[in-house]
Structure formats: C-alpha cells, structure tokens
Amino acid sequence: MITRSSFAVTVSETQTAMERELVKVILECIASNGKVVIPVYRLGYFHELITILLEHWQQIKDASGKAAKCPIYLSDAAMEYPSRFLPVLFRTCTPTVQNLLRAKNPNAADLQVFDWKRLQQPGPFVLFTGPANISQGDSLRAIKAVASDPKNLIVLSEYCTPGTVNYLLYADPERKRVSKRLGVNVECGVHYQPCGDEVDTKSIVQLVSRVAPRQVILDYTVPDDLEFVKTHVQNHLKMDPAVDASVVVKGINPAGRTPIEPARDIPLRIHKAMFNNPSDVQGMLIAEPKRKLMLVSSGNGARRLRKKKHSLFFSYSWKKPFEPSPRVKKKSSRPASALSFLLSAAVESDDEEDESEQQPQADADQLLKALESSLTKWILDLPMEKIDRWLKLRTVGVSVSAEWEVHMEWSYDDEALAGRVLGIAKQVVHAEYKKQLAQ
C-alpha cells in the first residue's frame, strides 16, 4: 500500500471534530466583527468547505429562526460552476446515497460574488479566494487587506507542503519571513484545516487496518516527519490483531528506486500469439481463476473480456524546408552604356528574385521509388504493400508529393514503427532534393 504522508505530522481527532473546530474559530472571528479569508483552489476541497459552512448556517437558522448575518462571498463567480452539475451526479449513486445528498443539499443561493470595495468597509464576512497560494492572485490581494488586523482570520487548507509560502504562515509563529514575502505585517489569526487529500497518522493507521497490506510505503518530503509517522504507525499496528505482525513500514527513496518485495509468487502464462508479433510487445494482463495471470495481446484480451477494442489513428504531414540553389548566375561580359547597364541590372535582379522564390518540383514517382527502396533495405522483417501512391507497412501508410511533402497515417499500436518510417522518409527526401539541386 502506497500512501501520501507529506502532511501526516500530527495525530488529529476525527473529521467531525476538525469541522467543529473550524466552525468555532470562524464564529469567534465573526463575533468580534472580523473578516475571514479562505484561499482555496477553484475545484475540489473548496466545495467541502462551502458545504460545512452552509450546513452550519442552516442549523443556526433552524435553531434561532433567523438567518446568519455573516455573508459568504466568492472572489470569482466561476468557483460555483461545478456545483451546478451535482444533480447530474446524483443519478449515478444508490438510492440511499441520493436521499442523503438531498438531505444535505446546501442552498447555493447564499453564495455571492465579492465586491472588492467591502475590503475597506467595516463588518464581518467569509471570503473564498483563489488560488490556494496566498502569494498570488485574489488571495494575495485579500490577505494584504486583512492581515494587519488581529481580529481577522486566515484559514489555510490546501498548498501547505514544506517550502511553500502557506507553510511559512502556518508553521512559523513569529511570521517574520512570511511578512517579508507577502509585503505586509501579518498579525491576524491563522487556522489550519487539513483538506480531503491530506492524511494524518490516524488516517494511515485506519487505512492499514482495513486493507491489511504486507508493506506500507510512505511518500514523504521531510525525513523527520517520516520517522514520526513510521514510529506511530508501527506502534499502533502492533496492538491491532487484524494486522499481520510482519507488516513492513518504510518510505520511498527520493534518490532512486525503492525495492518492494512481492507478497507471493503469482504464476504467469503467456499466450502463444505474443511470440508471433515481431514488433514491441503491447498487451494486457488478465486475472484467471486460481490466482493466475495471463499475458495476451490487446486484440485477444479484448475478445476474452468480450469488450470492443478501441482504435486510435493519427495523421501527420511534413514538408522539406526551402534551400536556395548553390548555382551562381553568370553575368554578361558584353560592355554596355551606363543606361543599358542600369536597365539590365534591374531586370536581372527581378529574375533572381523570381528564381529564388521558386522551389524545384520533385518527381513524385522517382521519390516514391527511392522511398520504397530505402524501406525495403532498412525494414526487412515486415511485408510492404503498394496501394495507389501509398506504401503500407501494417497500419502505417506513407506517401510523398511533388512539393517535397511526406504524408503519414498510422494507428496507436504501430507508433514506434511510424517513427522509424518517418525518419527514413525524411532522409530520402533530403537526398533526392540535393540531387535535383546539383543537376
């Protein structure tokens, strides 16, 4: 099992407890007439935070009979767009989940687009800004306006990995470096709410207990954090009877490969058709009964699984760049008067411009024969078929024109072969072009 542990530096409470703590600090800020700024990405965990706040606002309204006086704003109207597709996603869920989503469906009408004039006006509000990086965009603009007031609050959720400006604001209690980085003295409150794709040590222990893997591979950034997470996970797994005592917990090697010992030997059968393919092997592994795997080609695999094989074709055209002729035009040695010399010079310059702009035409038949000869010489193991003005090698088709162009078509399965054919075709066109210029 491979899991992210870059953020797993704490042993947190349950997700519900963290949500209650988030709502608590926001309500305390609002009660003191402060402003709340939450930098987020425009899609993802932002919608979870919106749901948490809107549900709590609805609970306040149901309990007191009055709507919450603190509005929720979005710095960009596009941040709310993905919520419009939620009714479409409801259809893919089970009836139980559909009923749960209907019961928790927040009222998106409570969200408003932010008027930036309100930054300098008194009164509380909750503002979601983008991006999650507090040193860019609307997030930087909003934080510069609220950071100097101790009554205000900044909620960090995403983009808090070590080395980022968000991590400086979250981890540095003195905030001297982040104040210098943002260009404003940061005196407001800061709260950290782990986002959905960030895990802590408790989440890792729960996941390992349910999956029961033989090895746990931790992705980490700071070595000290790895030792903390590794020790905590190992201590708790020893007390879990459902987990094998021989489970290995280690981190991914950042300098190279990480060896992973297989849990057991799995027999592998190879279909005989795989040995008849002279090209690079492209196939699929199919799980068979009795814990066996079979390597088959993509075509046989699709037939065994009774699935329709998806075909992907490409086309490409390449034209030889223009090269001036190396021949030098001979000038007339006949003496002439000054007037005739000027007139003849003007005519010769026009002729030279016309000649330089014209690219010699290729003999398409001769060019195709040269290409066929080169392909036969360099690609010996594949049969070649000539159809009209096209040469076909399996699914790869190549053609040339009198304008020194190469046209190609091929399927995804023969992408490597298409690259070889294109390289040979370019060499042939270059060689024939030089021959014609030399004539």
For 341-394, what is each residue's pLDDT tens digit?
444 555 555 554 444 456 678 888 888 999 999 988 888 778 889 988 899 998
**Poorest-pLDDT segment among 132-141, 150-159, 301-310:** 301-310
Q: What is the predicted pLDDT for the residue at 344?
A: 53
Q: What is the predicted pLDDT for the residue at 94?
A: 61
Q: Considering the chain, what is the average pLDDT of its residues?
A: 77
Task: Tell which wins on pLDDT, 350 or 433.
Answer: 433
Same domain, 50 and 159: yes
In a domain, 327, yes or no: no
CATH number at residue 431: 3.30.310
Same domain, 166 and 33: yes
* Average of per-residue pLDDT across 92-105: 61
Last residue of some domain: 166, 192, 218? 192
Same domain, 31 and 174: yes
Same domain, 17 and 153: yes
* Average of per-residue pLDDT across 107-136: 83
Same domain, 81 and 188: yes
Burial per residue of 254-285, b for 16 or more beta-carbon CB atoms within 10 angstroms, e otherwise: eeeeeeeeeeeeeeeeebeeeeeeeeeeebee
Task: Tell which wins on pLDDT, 288 or 199.
Answer: 288
pLDDT beyond 70 at 408: yes
pLDDT beyond 70 at 62: yes
Q: What is the predicted pLDDT for the residue at 40?
A: 87
- In angstroms, the CA 230 to CA 259 distance is 17
Residue with structure tokens 């060019």? 367
In a domain, 335, yes or no: no
Whether the CB-CB separation of 123 and 33 falls below 8 Å is answered with yes
In a domain, 333, yes or no: no
Task: Tell which wins on pLDDT, 238 or 291.
Answer: 238
Q: What is the predicted pLDDT for the residue at 262?
A: 65
* Average of per-residue pLDDT across 164-189: 87
Same domain, 164 and 119: yes
Q: What is the predicted pLDDT for the residue at 272?
A: 75
CATH number at residue 173: 3.40.50.10890
- In angstroms, the CA 78 to CA 74 distance is 9
Q: What is the predicted pLDDT for the residue at 277?
A: 62
Q: What is the predicted pLDDT for the residue at 126?
A: 92
| SS3 readout for 122-174 | CCCEEEEECCCCCCCHHHHHHHHHHCCCCCCEEEECCCCCCCCHHHHHHHCCC
In a domain, 1, yes or no: no
| Residue 103: band (very low, low, confident or very high) from pLDDT cuts 50, 70, 90 | low
Q: What is the predicted pLDDT for the residue at 258?
A: 78
* Average of per-residue pLDDT across 407-414: 87
pTM: 0.46
**Poorest-pLDDT segment among 162-171, 194-203, 383-392, 428-437:** 194-203
Highest mean pLDDT among 4-13, 237-246, 275-284, 332-341: 237-246
Last residue of some domain: 192, 217, 241? 192
pLDDT tens for 303-318 read 888 887 777 889 999 9
What percent of the chain has pLDDT above 90? 15
Same domain, 188 and 208: no
Same domain, 165 and 279: no
Same domain, 242 and 385: no
- In angstroms, the CA 149 to CA 122 distance is 12
How far apart, in Å, are the Cα atoms of 120 and each of 117, 124, 178, 337? 6, 11, 23, 85
Same domain, 21 and 146: yes
Query: Which tokens belong to 277?
Result: 């393919």
Same domain, 25 and 167: yes
How many separate domains does the chain show?
A: 4
Same domain, 141 and 40: yes
In a domain, 76, yes or no: yes
- Within a 10 A sphere around the Cβ of 48, how many other Cβ atoms? 16
pLDDT tens for 238-252 read 777 767 777 778 877
In a domain, 377, yes or no: yes
- In angstroms, the CA 334 to CA 330 distance is 12
Residue 385 bridge partners (DSSP): 392
In a domain, 258, yes or no: no
Q: What is the predicted pLDDT for the residue at 11?
A: 52
- In angstroms, the CA 373 to CA 366 distance is 11
- In angstroms, the CA 331 to CA 166 distance is 74
Q: Residue 430, SS3?
A: helix
Q: What is the predicted pLDDT for the residue at 210?
A: 75
User: For the chain, how are helix, strand and coil distributed in percent, rounded to 5?
Assistant: 45, 20, 40
Counting beta carbons within 10 angstroms of the beta carbon of residue 436, is it exposed (0 to 12), middle (13 to 18) or buried (19 or more)? middle
In a domain, 15, yes or no: yes
**Poorest-pLDDT segment among 167-171, 298-302, 405-409:** 298-302
Whether the CB-CB separation of 38 and 93 falls below 8 Å is answered with no
Range of the domain at 278: 268-304
Residue with structure tokens 């905030």? 175
